[in-house]
Structure 1
Amino acid sequence: MIKISVYQVTPFLAEGCLLPNVKINNGTDWLREAVNIMYNRSKERLKVAGVVVNLFHNHDENSGVTISRYPLIQFQKTLTDFFVVGINEGSIALEELFAGMQKVIQISDNLHISVKKNFESDLPASETKKVYVYKVTNWLPFSNESYKKYTKMETLSEKISFLEYVLKNHLVKDFSQYLDLNFNGETIQVQLTAIDSFTRSCVPVKVNKYTHDFQPFTVSFSANLLLPKHICLGNGKVYGFGLVEPAP
């Protein structure tokens, strides 16, 4: 079981203003920045409350080194809505951050937001005998090296097998490992059932080293796994890339 809290965030902009950076980092860059502003305003209060504050930025407070783990606070979006999602300790951190906040929160002169909790629940994430089908939106499977391997593959069967291998690793060696779910890589079966396109190129949107510049996939896959909504897989999870939901 994992604990998931989902907060819907609605932006209110001054007349003539637009959300910044909506074309990079899955369109959630502004949302992460807004929450970080709120975090910096409340940092000392959060520390006193016992919150693990590095969950908000995934860097060691003293050294500044990036902490390698599955992000427990994520910034996600659908076609029309934006969400901040807390998982396990991240759920506790968000609850404390938003406690006592006004209904409308000023982020800057041009941006105010409202935050509403959509749901909070302990949800199962486990290996099963039954096979389920999921959709993964804006999935970023590649490192620089794996991207080079993929582009050299000549057949669709090679590419499908490689993507299935990468997806399985994201489930077993990233999601499961960091959340102590104990998925068994020997018995889990992952198969792609749909994909938007096999052709991929780099998209020239690099702003800094944290901006993701690979064109993402949207895929469906089957697996003998029960997975909750509002988790992300692959690279860029903190920005909501690789958002998993049950396939329609």
Structure 2
Amino acid sequence: MKIVFILVEPAVPENVGAAARALKTMGFSELRLVNPCDYLSVDARKLAHASNDILENASVYRTLEEALYDIDFAFATSARERWIKLDIIDSHELPVFIEEKGDTINNIAVVFGREESGLTNHEINLCQRVTTIPLKTKYPSLNLAQSVMVYAYILSGITLNLNDSAKADTTQSFRALAKKVDAVMRSIDLGPDKLIYGRLMERISELGEQDIKLLHSITTELIQKLNR
């Protein structure tokens, strides 16, 4: 299992450097950046300290959609409730949530938004679920690097536990299932522009490993019948 961290349009080099340091201390190595600031600046390197390799090896993308090209399951982080995703997962619940998916997810992303405005609704909609860090007060909030540190710490245990697991069968992955469900919904004129489409996609994101594989069988039969 691979967990990557994606920062969308970070504006402060020091935040990127501190985020890289947080990732390395928790055993992670892959950082992806979408339209970033000068993340290789002196200020960023100072905060990265002994984690400059994370900065130098970071992949840069033009859009979040491009950064998610190989991701099976993405979590959008948000400090605010959004109408697009009605169910929000607390950060400390992520390990159990991920473990229940078994080998149906192999590549996971945790997506962080802009320092000032966070993620757009469109960007949140590109992810499967929204997660938030429960805080005792609404202000002050955590900054970008602090949020990365919290998620890296929470997820470090599951990464260590599952690093040696066999690579998931992509034909039975959650990502493949989502594509099948999308095909079925579009074929009956219930595409992404319909509210029920979003709710269904959210519901299947809650399924565990066995239910995901069961739904694979059902959707395969449906697609075959619809194509006759």
Do they superpose with TM above 0.5? Answer: no
User: The TM-score by the shorter chain falls in which range?
Assistant: under 0.3
Structure with bigger helix share is 2
Q: TM-score, normalised by structure 2?
A: 0.27
Structure with bigger strand share is 1
Q: Which has the higher contact order (CA 8 A, sep 6+)?
A: 1
